[in-house]
Amino acid sequence: MGIVTSTNSQTIVRCGILWQDQQHSELLRCIRNLQQKILDKTLDMTELNRIRTFLVWYVDLHFATEEAYMAELAYPGRAAHKAEHEGMTNKLMNLFEVIEDGMGHPDLHACAQLCVDLNKWYLSHIAGPDQDLAAFLKQQGVR
C-alpha cells in the first residue's frame, strides 16, 4: 500500500503518481463535502443531487484517465481493473438510490450510511488495484 495519512478522521491513500493522487484527492474532497453538509444539517435534495452528479461525472473522468493509461501502456491487469471500475460505477448508482425521505428531503440516516459506504467504496479500490496500477505506471516512467 502507498503512503497513508489520516486527516479529519478520513484516510488518504497515496499511489505516488501525481495526476492519479490529485484525482483521488478530489473524489475524497467531494465525499468530505457531503459529510460536512450532513453534520451542518445544510443538506437538501438540490445539494445532494448536485454532489451525486459531480461524483458520477468525476468518477467517470477518473476511470477513463486510468483506462487510457492502461490501454496506452498495455497494462497486463487491464481487463480486471476495467471490470472493477464498471462494478464500482454500478455500485455508485445504487448507493444513492434510497436517499429521499418521502417528503422531499434527504434521509439523514441514509446519507450518513452513504458516507460510510462511499469511503469503503473509495478506499478498497485505491488501496488495492490502483496501487498495482501505480507500481506499473512508475515502472513505465509515468509520474
Residues in contact with Fe ion by CB under 5 A are: 66, 130
Name the E strands within 8-125.
10-13
Residue 105 DSSP code = S
Question: Measuring CA to CA, which residue among 88, 59, 71, 85 is closest to residue 137?
Answer: 71
Please give the residue whose beta carbon sits closest to Fe ion in the complex: 130
Instruction: Kindly state the smallest distance separating residue 122's Cβ from Fe ion, in Å.
Output: 9
CB of 126 to Fe ion, least distance (A): 6
Closer residue to Fe ion in complex, CB, 53/89: 89
* Numbers of helices and strands, H then E, in the chain: 5, 2
- Whichever of 108 and 128 has its CB closer to Fe ion, that residue is 128
- Contact 137/71 with Cβ under 8 angstroms? no
Closest CB to Fe ion among 106 and 130?
Answer: 130
Characterize 81-90 residue by residue with b for buried, 16 or more Cβ atoms within 10 angstroms of its Cβ, and e for exposed.
bbebbeebee
Closest distance of CB 117 from Fe ion, Å: 17
SS3 of residue 73 by DSSP: coil
Name the grid cell of 111.
446519507
Q: Which is nearer to Fe ion, 100 or 132 (CB)?
A: 132
Minimum distance of Fe ion from residue 15's CB (angstroms): 8
